[in-house]
A = this chain, B = another copy of it.
Amino acid sequence: MNPYDYLEAHREEFLEELKDLLRIPSISTLSEHKPDVQRAAEWLRDHLMAIGMTETRLFPTAGNPIVYAEWLGAAGAPTVLIYGHYDVQPADDPENQWLSDPFEPVVRDGNLYARGSTDDKGQTLTQIKAVQSLLASGQMPVNVKFLIEGEEESGSTNLYPFIDEHADLLRADVAIVSDTSMQGMDNPSIVYGLRGLTSLEIEVRGPSHDLHSGMYGGIVDNPLHVLVNILAAMHDEQGHVTVPGFYDRVLTLDEIERAELGKTPFTMERFRSETGLEVPWGEPEYEMQERLGIRPTLEVNGLVGGWTGEGGKTIIPARGLAKITCRLVPDQDPWEIEELVRQYVAELSPETVKVTVRGLHHGKPVVVPLDSVFMRAAVEAYEFGFGAQPVFMREGGSIPIVASFQDVLKAPVILMGFGLPDDNLHAPNEKYSLECFYRGMQTAVRFYETIGQLT
């Protein structure tokens, strides 16, 4: 049986296996889910063994385990490193927006709904199932190494040193990352640029305990007032970030690349349907796809302080906290950006309170070359799998570890993403299109067959 027939024959089985993996709430940012994270790692290790990988291992780390597996039986053929992550975002649901349990996957209208369905368990399993079909058909054209981490959503803290220490083990001719989206099912696209990331917390501490707002209001500086003043000073009225030096290293695009990006405009129709909003926002001198792809941002992801329950509580709270993410573009440096924010916050902080900036996660922005043999093979594989030639896009999201693949492993990276723009990643009702799942497997099989011919 050739691998495509094998894929076809096992559609139902593959879907059930994906559901099994999605039922494990492996949320890496919440410590109470530690056992689930471990369970997801073990599930993958056992699964990779079952499909015929010759060596499988769980590498313990200071955080969550790293799943490694290899099959190196294609002597003389290229070696592929396939990256994925088994951890997922939280699925808190204070406004009751999930239509079904985030950890009880359900198919509705050809989509599989669950936390992690597209990001990244579904896409990771798409790759695993492609490899399985090649192994099962006895036609495995390349050597394969899987590297599947459990901390992508919490900063890949332990994967960076792991890559440094295991550069030999991970050595490959090309690294494949299936953790991005296409512009649409029938007009596929390949992401060649990803934003980097610096995430931070800003904490303002005032009085030693919450104070009565009547008894002390007027003589005690309110930590929440200081916090909103600091945060409001981060943008100007047009949406530019006002942290001094923030844009200093941002590369400008030449006209050719701007024109290429202009081929995949972010339409108002898409804006409306994906956000539920009518009026876009952002730097007026850039088009929407440029604001997302080539411009950095600073977003407040969360804010909390004082009384947040029902009704009122008339206090001056003891503290306030903001969580912030900066999305970065070449050649911004995530650690330098943290330092710039830290300096600016220090300038903005009055002596009435104590303000602390804590860096959380850092990831470099990345752009992959468009003119490699691997990229040409990827373009052909998408045409085969999705019936149209893919266009090149920059995406606003971040997969920080991609820069390490380039820097440490010196491997070209292909971002072989199979998500769709309305997959609701990091949001309620995350989904993965079953069509993307199956066509993605075909695309991946075709890609490995093609690069198997390279020597």
Q: CA separation between A451 and B304, bound complex, in Å?
A: 51
Q: A303-B320, A306-B323, A321-B308 are in contact. Are A313 and B426 (CB under 8 A)?
A: yes
Name the CB-closest residue of B to A206: B277
**A316 and B302 in contact (CB under 8 A), knowing A231-B225, A275-B211?**
no
User: How far is A225 from B423 in the complex, measured between Cα atoms in Å?
Assistant: 25
A252 at the interface (CB under 8 A from B): no
Chain B residue contacts of A283, Cβ below 8 A:
218
What is the bound-complex CA distance between A322 and B219, given in angstroms?
21
Assess whether A323 is in contact with B312, with CB atoms less than 8 Å apart: yes
A300 CB contacts on chain B under 8 angstroms: 222, 224-225, 228, 306
- The interface bits of chain A over 256-274 (1 if a CB of B lies within 8 angstroms of the residue's CB, else 0) are 0000000000100001001
A292 is contacted by which of B210, B218, B396 (Cβ under 8 Å)? Answer: B218
Distance to closest chain B CB from A427 (angstroms): 5
A31 in contact (CB, < 8 A)? yes
Query: Quick one: which of A316-349 are within 8 Å of B by CB?
Result: 316-321, 323, 325, 327
Contact residues in B for A325 (Cβ distance below 8 Å): 213, 217, 312, 314
Contact A314 B297 (CB under 8 A): no
Cβ-defined contact, A305 with B303, below 8 A:
yes
A324: shortest Cβ distance to chain B, in Å?
9
Interface residues of A in 197-216 (CB under 8 A from B): 197, 199, 206-216
A289 to chain B, nearest CB (A): 9
Chain B residue contacts of A281, Cβ below 8 A: 219-221, 350, 352
Interface segment, one of A65-73, A90-98, A370-378, A383-391: A90-98
List of B residues within 8 angstroms of A313 by Cβ: 29, 89-90, 301-302, 323, 426
A454 at the interface (CB under 8 A from B): no
Q: Of B215, B301, B307, which one neighbours A301 at CB under 8 angstroms?
A: B307
Residue of B nearest to A288 (CB): B219
Mask of A69-110 contacts with B, CB within 8 angstroms, 1/0: 000000000000000000001101001010000000000000
CB-CB contacts below 8 Å: A231-277 with B: 231-235, 239, 266, 271, 274-277
Check B228–A232 contact: CB distance below 8 A: yes
Instruction: Determine the chain B residues whose CB is within 8 A of the CB of A89 once the complex forms.
Output: 313
A199: chain B residues at CB < 8 Å are 312, 314
